[in-house]
Amino acid sequence: MAGQAAAILHSADLLPGWGEELWNTSFILADDSLLGRSLHALVGYSARPSGIQLAAWLATLVALVLASRAMSKPRMRTLTAAAAVIALMAAGAPARADDLPTLVFHNHRFEPDHVQVPANVKFQLHVKNTDGTADEFESVDLNREKLVAPGQTITVFLGPLAPGQYKFFGDFHQDTAQGVLVAK
Amino acid sequence: MTRYLFGLIVALAILAPLAAARADFHVVSPYEIDLGELEIENNSSVSVDHRFGIGGEQSYTLELGTGLTPWWHSEIELGFDNDPSLGQPTMLMQVVSENMFQLTEPGEDFLDTGFYIEYGQSTTRGVYATSDEVTFGPVFGKDIGRTTEMLNLFFTRQLGPDQTTQGLDFTYAFQGRWNLWAPMSPAIEVYGDTGTLGSMPGFSHQQLLTGPVGVGRLNLNDIGLGRAGQIKYEVGWLFGATPATPRGTLRWRLELEIPF
């Protein structure tokens, strides 16, 4: 919980990041795998913790250990176990994909037309249509097509994507509405 | 541009009667709703086998579809068949209402899920009479890397005075596609029909087909036919995997999508 709180505060630029990705254990246990999702739900597992998350994890652990010394042995054992659980939860914040810019249909073009997204994690892309006519966010590479009515903002659920480029376009204005998603 | 689009629509109509095999050779996708678009489609197949009564069947459809809501895709289909072993000429066999309901937002959950239901009203009488039918079942999809996997598990119940079975017939269909290149991506498909649940024949008497399929699409803008819309196509050769299945089946699908 401490790690998640730190990640949220970092997302709001209220805390420094101290490293966006200290390690990546996706190749051992990916966040989106069945076991990864289960562990995330149970103990907050994350394959790509940030520096501020680790700091929150350590600070919580130290605080718990110090507090436990003032208690009796049976209680100490209980608190140590609790600290271990909380430490695991501290590493459990989702990858920071919520900083992605909103894609905007404007004058039948995408703004921005290049978007960098994190590779190997799931994320949400928001697409807003400021034009007076409907358009469709579509991508063969991403296997998505979704209508965006005038004034509407939709959410497209994507990933995990392997590093690379993924083209998308506005199906109703293909001559102008083109863009690329870059997964890194 | 209007002239070219009209030409494409006419081409779809002309291609339809040339088609062969069962019209059911198409894996229903939980991803395509086509809200704000009109879809004109021809889905055809022809089976090839020298054994009398097994090969030579042709079927084709002409379909009009669109998204009625962000989660409901609906089509009206005219289904034609030609079965030389019965001496049956090409004739309109069914008018079908097809509906796919998207139950989950694509990509949000582990598995993308939809529910499909169609009702086919028979248009034949007399010697070529067929029953009305209702077909329903779940539709699943999953993106894995640059591949897309789709699975249909359908049940069919015959209705009306011309039914030949009373139970539920179970069919399954699978497509695994590598989203390699928009104009042509390789895929593999599997279609099976186990027969009526509860009185299923042995595996060798069931229908099972599998084979390679090419799946592609062209933006009309890219080929100078307009600023919007697409042509989608699929063509494949399915091998019969049981003695009861035709040795080979050519299937194709051509679809024109036009925003409105």
B199 residue type, one letter: S
Using CB atoms, pick whichever of B145, B146, B221 lies closest to residue A174. B221
Beta carbons of A135 and A173 less than 8 angstroms apart:
yes
Q: Which residues of B touch A125 (CB under 8 A)?
A: none
What pLDDT is recorded for position A44? 64
Domains in chain B (CATH in brackets) are: 2-259 (2.40.160.40)
Q: Which residues of B touch A143 (CB under 8 A)?
A: 31, 106, 143, 148, 179
C-alpha distances in angstroms, B56 versus A3, A82, B59, B214? 66, 70, 10, 23
A4: left (phi over 0), alpha (psi -120 to 50) or beta: alpha
Residue in chain B closest to A33 (alpha carbons) equals B110
What is the average pLDDT across A101-128?
94
Q: What is the separation, in whole angstroms, between the first and last Cα of chain A? A: 27
Q: Which residues of A touch B143 (CB under 8 A)?
A: 143
Give me chain A's average pLDDT, please.
76
pLDDT at A173 over 70: yes
Share of chain A above pLDDT 90, in %: 43
What pLDDT is recorded for position B130? 86
pTM of the model: 0.73
Beta carbons of B254 and B51 less than 8 angstroms apart:
no
State how far residue B12 is from chain A, nearest Cα, in angstroms: 22
**pLDDT per position as a tens digit, A10-34:** 665 657 677 777 777 877 777 766 6
What pLDDT is recorded for position B20? 33
What pLDDT is recorded for position A12? 53
Q: How confident is the model at residue A78 (pLDDT cuts 50, 70, 90)?
A: low
Is B229 within 8 Å of A171 when comparing Cβ atoms? yes
Task: Report whether the peptide linkage leading into residue A94 is cis, meaning its omega lies within 30 degrees of zero.
Answer: no
What string of pLDDT tens digits covers the 260 residues of chain B?
Answer: 455 555 545 444 444 443 333 347 999 999 999 999 999 999 999 999 888 777 788 999 999 999 999 999 999 999 999 877 777 888 899 999 999 999 999 999 999 999 999 999 999 888 788 899 999 999 999 999 999 999 999 999 999 888 888 899 999 999 999 999 999 999 999 999 999 998 899 999 999 999 999 999 999 888 888 778 899 999 999 999 999 999 999 999 999 999 99
Domains in chain A (CATH in brackets) are: 2-90 (no CATH), 103-183 (2.60.40.420)
E strand spans, chain A? 103-106, 109-111, 114-117, 123-129, 135-139, 144-148, 153-158, 164-170, 178-183
B110 lies within 8 A of chain A by CB: yes
Is B107 within 8 Å of A162 when comparing Cβ atoms? no
Length of chain B: 260
What pLDDT is recorded for position B23? 45
Is A157 within 8 Å of B146 when comparing Cβ atoms? no
E strand spans, chain B? 37-48, 58-69, 72-83, 88-102, 112-122, 132-144, 147-159, 168-178, 185-196, 207-219, 230-240, 248-259
Residue in chain B closest to A144 (alpha carbons) equals B31
Q: Which residue has the higher pLDDT, B157 or A3?
A: B157
Interface of A with B (CB under 8 A): 32, 34, 37, 122, 134, 136, 140-141, 143-147, 155-159, 162, 169, 171-175
Is B182 within 8 Å of A171 when comparing Cβ atoms? no
CB pairs under 8 A between A and B: 65
When mean pLDDT is compared over A42-46, A82-86, B121-125, the highest value belongs to B121-125
Between CA B232 and CA B257 the distance in angstroms is 8
Q: How confident is the model at residue A84 (pLDDT cuts 50, 70, 90)?
A: very low
Q: Which residues of A touch B111 (CB under 8 A)?
A: none
pLDDT at A137 over 70: yes
What pLDDT is recorded for position B13? 46
Quick one: which of A51, A123, A121, A54 has its CA closest to A89?
A54
Using CB atoms, pick whichever of A156, A157, A173 lies closest to residue B228. A173
pLDDT at A92 over 50: no
What pLDDT is recorded for position A90? 39
Q: What residues contact B181, with CB distance under 8 A and at least 6 apart? A: B216
The sheet carrying A123-129 orders its strands as: A109-111, A103-106, A123-129, A153-158
